[in-house]
Amino acid sequence: MTNCITRNYHAHGGSEWVIGGKLTFLPGATVEGAEGLFDLPSASTPASPTIPYIADSEATTVAALKDNFNALLAALRTAGLMAAAPEGEDA
| Per-residue model confidence as pLDDT tens digits over 46-80 | 556 678 888 999 999 999 999 999 999 998 888 88
Classify 54 as helix, strand or coil. Answer: coil
Cα 19 from chain centre: 21
Q: What is the pLDDT of residues 61-70, one digit of tens each?
A: 999 999 999 9
